[in-house]
Amino acid sequence: MINSALMNVMTAAAFKAGRGLKRDFGEVENLQVSVKGPGDFVTIADKKSEKTLFEELAKARPGYGFVLEEGGVVEGSDKSHIWHIDPLDGTTNFLHGLPIFAISIGLERDGQIVAGLVYNPATDDIFVAERGAGAYYNNRRIRVAARRDMAEGLIATGIPPLANAKIHPKFKAELSSVMTRAGGVRRLGAASIDLAFVAAGRFDGYWERGLKSWDMAAGLLLIREAGGYVSDADGGQNMLKTGGVCGGNEFIHRQLLDLLKKA
Ligand code: IPD
Ligand code: CA
Ligand code: CA
Ligand code: CA
C-alpha cells in the first residue's frame, strides 16, 4: 500500500463516504432519485457521498480547488491543486442493485494527476496510485496485463445512454470493429472501475468517449503507474478535455487506437 500522508487523507475520506453508500445501497428502493438528462440519474446517495468527500478533503487540505460531478467547480485559493471527484461512479448500477460502483478521487497538481483512488464500498475493493510510487489493489502492487494480441484479450467500453447523438455514430463503428477482433468485450457501467481493472490486468484494454474529468482522473494515473499506456481516443494526451480515453498495455493500446482510427 502507499503509506503517504496524502493517501491517508484520501482513503479516510473515501471510507467515510463509502460507509454512507453501503447503507444507502442496502435500501436503494427507498432512495430519492432525480433525472439530470436522458438516461442520466442522480440520487440522494450521490449527493451525500459528495458532501462527505468535499468536507473531509477541504478540512485536510485547505485551499485546494474541486471539480465535483454534482456540485461543479469550487475554486480554491491554492491554484496548483484540484480534486476531481466522482462521489458515486456507476449510479445506474447502484440503482439496479448491481454492486459495481465506486468513489473516484483524483488529485491534479500543476496540470498533472499525482494521486488517484478508486474505491468500491460494496466489495471493499480499493485501487490507489501515486505518481512515481506505483499502483496497488488492496495492498498488492498491480501491473497491466501482458497479453499482446487483442484476439486473446478482454476489452471494456462504455455505451452512451439512449444512443447519445454526439457519441453514438462513431461509437457504433468502433464497437463493431473491436467486437470482430477482441477475445471478448465488456461493459460494466462504471468508468473508474473499467480503468482500475485495466491497471490490475483484469481487462486488457478499454476505450470510451464522452467522459468527464471526475470519471477518469484517478483511473488514468492507476493505468500509468501500473505500467500501462493511456491516451484520448485519438491518441493525444488531452483526455480531461476531450473526454475520450483509450488504455491498455503498450501493444493493446496501439492496436485499439489503430482500430478506433479506422472505424
Ligand atoms: C457514468 C459511468 C459509465 C459511463 C458514463 C458515466 P456516473 O458515470 O462511469 O460507465 O459510461 O459515461 O457518466 O454518472 O454513473 O457517475
Ligand atoms: Ca452521473
Ligand atoms: Ca461517473
Ligand atoms: Ca457519478
Q: Are residues 159 and 127 in the same domain?
A: no
Q: Low-confidence residues of the chain, pLDDT below 50?
A: none
How many Cα atoms occupy the beta-carbon half-sphere of 210 within 13 Å? 14
Determine the distance separating the centroid of ligand 2 and the alpha carbon of 133, expressed in angstroms: 30
> Rounded to an integer, what distance in angstroms lies between the CA atom of residue 189 and that of residue 194?
8
Domain span at 23: 5-141
**Backbone torsion region of residue 39, taken as left when φ is above 0, otherwise alpha when ψ lies between -120 and 50, otherwise beta:** left
Q: Which of 159, 211, 220 to mutate to test the pocket of ligand 1 (most atoms within 8 A of CB)?
A: 211
- The confidence score (pLDDT) of residue 169 equals 80
User: Which residues sit with their C-beta closer than 6 Å to ligand 1?
Assistant: 86, 89-92, 158, 189-191, 208, 210-211, 215
Domain end (from 81, 113, 141): 141
Q: What pairing do the DSSP bridges indicate for beta strands 134-137 and 64-68?
A: unpaired
Q: Which residues pair with 37 in a beta bridge?
A: 40
User: Which residues have a Cβ under 8 Å from the Cβ of 170 and sit 6 or more positions away?
Assistant: 209, 263
- The confidence score (pLDDT) of residue 162 equals 77
> Rounded to an integer, what distance in angstroms lies between the CA atom of residue 36 and that of residue 91?
12
Number of domains the chain is built from? 2
Q: Are residues 121 and 13 in the same domain?
A: yes
> Rounded to an integer, what distance in angstroms lies between the CA atom of residue 118 and that of residue 195?
9
* Cβ neighbours around 228 below 10 Å, total: 26
How many Cα atoms occupy the beta-carbon half-sphere of 118 within 13 Å? 31
Q: What pairing do the DSSP bridges indicate for beta strands 154-157 and 205-208?
A: parallel
Residue with the three cell numbers 453514438: 168
- Asked whether 89 and 96 are in contact (CB, 8 A), the reply is no
- The confidence score (pLDDT) of residue 81 equals 98
Q: How far is CA 38 from CA 30, 34, 103, 253, in A?
A: 22, 11, 23, 31
Q: Are residues 36 and 76 in the same domain?
A: yes
Q: Are residues 155 and 137 in the same domain?
A: no
Taking the CA atoms of residue 4, residue 5, residue 6 and residue 11 in that order, the dihedral angle to the nearest 10 degrees is 90
Q: Are residues 14 and 87 in the same domain?
A: yes
We report the CATH number of the domain holding residue 16 as 3.30.540.10
Q: Are residues 113 and 157 in the same domain?
A: no
Domain end (from 90, 112, 141): 141
Q: Are residues 62 and 184 in the same domain?
A: no
Q: What is the pLDDT of residues 204-233, one digit of tens each?
A: 999 999 999 999 999 999 999 999 999 999
* Cβ neighbours around 206 below 10 Å, total: 30
Q: Are residues 65 and 135 in the same domain?
A: yes
* Cβ neighbours around 187 below 10 Å, total: 11
Nearest-atom number in ligand 1 for the CA of 94 is 15
Q: Are residues 185 and 252 in the same domain?
A: yes
Element spanning 8, H or E: helix 5-26
> Rounded to an integer, what distance in angstroms lies between the CA atom of residue 259 and that of residue 252?
10
Q: Is 69 flagged in the annotation as binding?
A: yes
> Rounded to an integer, what distance in angstroms lies between the CA atom of residue 249 and that of residue 212?
23
Q: Are residues 119 and 102 in the same domain?
A: yes
Q: Are residues 137 and 158 in the same domain?
A: no
Determine the distance separating the centroid of ligand 2 and the alpha carbon of 211, expressed in angstroms: 10
Nearest-atom number in ligand 1 for the CA of 46 is 16
We report the CATH number of the domain holding residue 175 as 3.40.190.80
Taking the CA atoms of residue 176, residue 177, residue 181 and residue 183 in that order, the dihedral angle to the nearest 10 degrees is -40
Q: What is the pLDDT of residues 127-145, one digit of tens each?
A: 999 999 999 999 999 999 9
Q: Which grid coordinates belong to 226?
A: 501500473
Domain end (from 83, 113, 141): 141
- Asked whether 144 and 202 are in contact (CB, 8 A), the reply is no
Q: Are residues 205 and 181 in the same domain?
A: yes
Q: Which grid coordinates belong to 202?
A: 483484469
